[in-house]
Amino acid sequence: MFTSLFHLVYIFLYEDSKVVPVKGGTISEWLIWNFPSLNPLKNLSWNNQYVVWLLYRSLLKYDLKENKIVSDIANCDISSLLNIECDINDDAKWSNWEKITAEDIYATYELIKSTNSNIILTSLLEDTKIEYSDNMILFKNSKKDVNFLNVFFQPILSKNNIDTLSKENIFWNFPTNGWIYSWDFVISNVSSDLTIWVSKIVLDKNEYYNKWNISKVILNIFPDVNTFLKNKQSVNVFNDDNNIVWESIPRLQSYKYSLPQFVWLFINQNKVTDLNFRNYIFSKINSENLIELLWKNNFSVVNNPYLSETTIDKETSIKNFESVMMSLGYSKKSKYIEDLIPKLEVNTQETNTDVIEDTTINNDNLTIDNFQKASAIIIKPTYVEKYNFVTKDDILLEWKVESGVDEVYINDNKIENFKVWDETFFYRLKTSYNNISPWKNNYKIYFSKDGIKTLKDEINFLLNSDKDKLLEDEKKFVLELAEENKKIEEENNKLTKAEEEQNKKDAINQIDKDKFDKVNKLDENIYYDKDLNPYTLRLYYLNTEKALDQTANFVKSSLKELWIEIELVPFDLNNVAKVLANKDDYDMILTWVNLWIFEYNIFPYFHSSQSKTGYNFSNIKKTSLDILLEELKSNTLSNDKIIENETKVLEILKDEQVIKTLYTPKINLLVDKNLKNEVNYTKLPNKSLRSYVMNSSYIKEDRIINFDNKNIWNFFKFIFKKLYE
């Protein structure tokens, strides 16, 4: 009873209490890496950048909470990229509590410019004049380029420390002992444990500035994966970007995030010139199926270069792919076999098809005028060409007669009123004359010269006073006529089997044996040019990791369904310059792209000026696109204006079909479940900003009791409520 009462009192007191983090505690983060140089003067990447950004501040920083560039050491006016003035903040101090000065900032940039220690930053600072006074520093730039703002993310060093740097420090490893820092942590110790082959960097909280709840971070640096896996059970935090751990440690929960980077496939429009053909190729590469292959949990489909929901896929207008390939000069094996075999000559009965005029008459009110327009069709006997459908039984026929005709006959009836010198003759059809009757009536017209009768024409009349019945008669007659003509045609064109086989043998004997054998060995489904070379697309792909190799082979297998051959050509980062210098070597290129903080700036990949040796892999040249890209690149625009321009860019890329975006990885940040966290970010500008996930984490916590209304009466009300709710 006492225990139950105590438990109820505890619940009553803490029911509406507030949980608050308590500062303190240590976390252990693990890295697989060579020991970092910790050199903020070099071009920073991956883990080196992550550690350096825990130690140093810069003029500006990217704030994930506000999702924009904000002040750090200084408040900078970036509305004009040509002249950027920065006023140093009052709280900008070093870990030794001394104030960060304009001289420190100037000395940092001058060191980089004079030593060329950071090639990228040096190129951005080229033609940039830097001036400073007591609490202000000014950057006068000659180029309007948002990429110039990367200069302001450079970690700033103390001038006192700069003056002590050796050449080795500047270009290689940076000092760690007795150094002063300006950001969340300072290095208190660096050591190595050779028993498990791990190096440790101990980071203590910078008491002047640090807002973290955690007081100490120990970075455990393992030289390889195997050493890491042997000791993985004691890890607290691990950025599993290569999916080494997966979900093998239940104690760790996964915070998945993506970066403004993705894999995309370019088509070189100089090599693949047909727009519809480019569209058809892209339509056969299914991104959903691709990420299923790679593993859907760790990848997501990317619809366009701006990572928005708008798709740049386009419905293909091609219905007959084979005809498209033929228009490009490529055909299948069967076509080349057909061209090699001479056409077999078929002996058929000659027919006179000198057609003068069609005489088909179908009129409910026939007159002499109708028939005066009729003239003969000269064709072989028994071949019925003309037929008429009538509902009136009084029809007057008129025929023109050639000179020299002695007599004219219709069927066996001689036309008595015809005279030798007549140029025409007339013949009346009427039921009362007994020369036309319901259903089918056949009339053969004979001309006689010197006693020899010759069939000159043949017509049929279908007579029925009922129009509907007449239509039925017409259909029936046409079917009979077609069947009769088919039999006649088959008979005329019929060859004996022996003749047919002999003709084939004679034809094959005329074929170039070597060429025939070569053609006969070709694949039945692949397309070849006139020289029998298969249609092949050359796909260059960056083979820096397994996923890219799998993607290249997926593209190959997808286009194999069209019977298009793909030649895969891998290249690494060291060969990028060579690839850019020889853009006629590839038809398509598969590569990673990382847009970093300025993800709307895709200028290098699609502007005409970059088509020669720049990153414009597709060689697209379009003035309307250039104007939009220039505006995005050369100004710090409002979000609305950026979205407006992005929409227009995507419309152009959709029309041109030179790019297909495929996927982006979901990176696992594995965090010990005992390490509590208040926020989670699903998208980071780069891996180094994962510290934002950590700086709100805490190990210890406290509960603040709300003592308002905590009295005996409310306790009994609480008990009653719990019993009956």
In sequence order, what DSSP letters do the residues of 283-315 get, joined into one string?
HT--HHHHHHHH-GGGEEE--STT-SS------
Q: What is the CATH number of domain 368-493?
A: 2.60.40.10
Task: Report the pLDDT value the prediction gives residue 511, as an integer from 0 to 100.
Answer: 60
Asked whether 291 and 301 are in contact (CB, 8 A), the reply is yes
**Ranked by mean pLDDT, which of 32-36, 313-317, 503-507 comes out on top?**
313-317
Query: Averaged over 112-129, what is the pLDDT?
Result: 92
C-alpha span between 96 and 207 (Å, rounded): 10
Task: Report the pLDDT value the prediction gives residue 387, as an integer from 0 to 100.
Answer: 53
C-alpha span between 102 and 88 (Å, rounded): 7
C-alpha span between 274 and 242 (Å, rounded): 39
581 to 223, 404, 537, 574: CA distances (angstroms): 36, 86, 19, 13
Task: Report the pLDDT value the prediction gives residue 493, as an integer from 0 to 100.
Answer: 67
Which 3 state secondary structure label does DSSP give 6? Answer: helix
650 to 303, 646, 653, 661: CA distances (angstroms): 10, 6, 5, 12
Strand partners, 459: 386, 443
Whether pLDDT at 337 is above 90 = no
Q: What are the tens digits of pLDDT across the range 152-168?
A: 999 999 999 999 999 99
DSSP 8-state secondary structure symbol assigned to residue 698: B
Q: What are the tens digits of pLDDT across the range 271-329?
A: 999 998 999 999 999 999 999 999 888 899 999 999 999 999 998 888 888 888 988 89
* CA dihedral of residues 243, 245, 249, 253 (deg, nearest 10): -30
Answer with the residue of higher pLDDT: 129 or 504. Answer: 129
Task: Report the pLDDT value the prediction gives residue 505, as an integer from 0 to 100.
Answer: 64
Task: Report the pLDDT value the prediction gives residue 365, as an integer from 0 to 100.
Answer: 34
Q: Class assignment of domain 57-182?
A: alpha beta
Asked whether 406 and 448 are in contact (CB, 8 A), the reply is yes
Q: Of the candidates 398, 387, 397, 399, which has an alpha carbon nearest to the alpha carbon of residue 360?
A: 387
Task: Report the pLDDT value the prediction gives residue 354, as an integer from 0 to 100.
Answer: 34
Give the pair of three-digit tokens for residue 572: 């690494």
C-alpha span between 632 and 649 (Å, rounded): 10
| Kind plus residue range of the DSSP H or E element containing 631 | helix 623-634
Q: CA neighbours within 13 Å on the CB side: how many for 593?
A: 30
Mean pLDDT score of the chain: 85
- Look up residue 724 and give its amino acid: Y
Which 3 state secondary structure label does DSSP give 147? Answer: helix
Asked whether 293 and 644 are in contact (CB, 8 A), the reply is no
C-alpha span between 160 and 351 (Å, rounded): 109
Give the pair of three-digit tokens for residue 415: 């036309």
Rounded percentage of the chain residues whose pLDDT exceeds 70: 90
Query: Averaged over 111-118, what is the pLDDT?
Result: 93
Q: What are the tens digits of pLDDT across the range 74-113?
A: 999 998 899 999 999 999 999 999 999 999 999 999 999 9
Residue 362's pLDDT band, with cuts at 50, 70 and 90, is very low
Task: Report the pLDDT value the prediction gives residue 10, as an integer from 0 to 100.
Answer: 76
Q: What are the tens digits of pLDDT across the range 626-666?
A: 999 999 998 888 889 999 999 999 999 999 999 999 999 99
Task: Report the pLDDT value the prediction gives residue 695, as an integer from 0 to 100.
Answer: 84
Q: Give ∠ CA 259-261-267 in degrees, rounded to 5.
A: 160
Span(s) in the chain for CATH 3.90.76.10: 57-182
Helices (H), 231-286: 275-283
Q: Of the candidates 599, 593, 656, 580, which has an alpha carbon nearest to the alpha carbon of residue 624?
A: 656
Q: CA neighbours within 13 Å on the CB side: how many for 705?
A: 10
Residue 130's pLDDT band, with cuts at 50, 70 and 90, is very high
Q: Which residues contact 163 (CB under 8 A, 6 or more apart)?
A: none
Least confident of 463-467, 536-540, 597-601, 716-720: 716-720
Asked whether 595 and 579 are in contact (CB, 8 A), the reply is no
- Look up residue 346 and give its amino acid: V
DSSP 8-state secondary structure symbol assigned to residue 535: P
Task: Report the pLDDT value the prediction gives residue 372, as an integer from 0 to 100.
Answer: 29
Which 3 state secondary structure label does DSSP give 471? Answer: helix
Q: CA neighbours within 13 Å on the CB side: how many for 580?
A: 16
Span(s) in the chain for CATH 3.10.105.10: 261-332+527-665
Task: Report the pLDDT value the prediction gives residue 11, as an integer from 0 to 100.
Answer: 79
Task: Report the pLDDT value the prediction gives residue 553, as an integer from 0 to 100.
Answer: 97
DSSP 8-state secondary structure symbol assigned to residue 258: B
Asked whether 374 and 427 are in contact (CB, 8 A), the reply is no
Query: Is 261-332+527-665 a CATH 3.30.413.10 domain?
Result: no
Classify residue 651 as exposed, middle or buried by CB count within 10 Å of its CB (0-12, 13-18, 19+): middle
Least confident of 12-16, 115-119, 273-277, 394-398: 12-16
Backbone torsions φ then ψ of 552, nearest 5 degrees: -60, -40
Asked whether 57 and 182 are in contact (CB, 8 A), the reply is yes
Query: Averaged over 580-601, what is the pLDDT?
Result: 93
Task: Report the pLDDT value the prediction gives residue 510, as an integer from 0 to 100.
Answer: 56
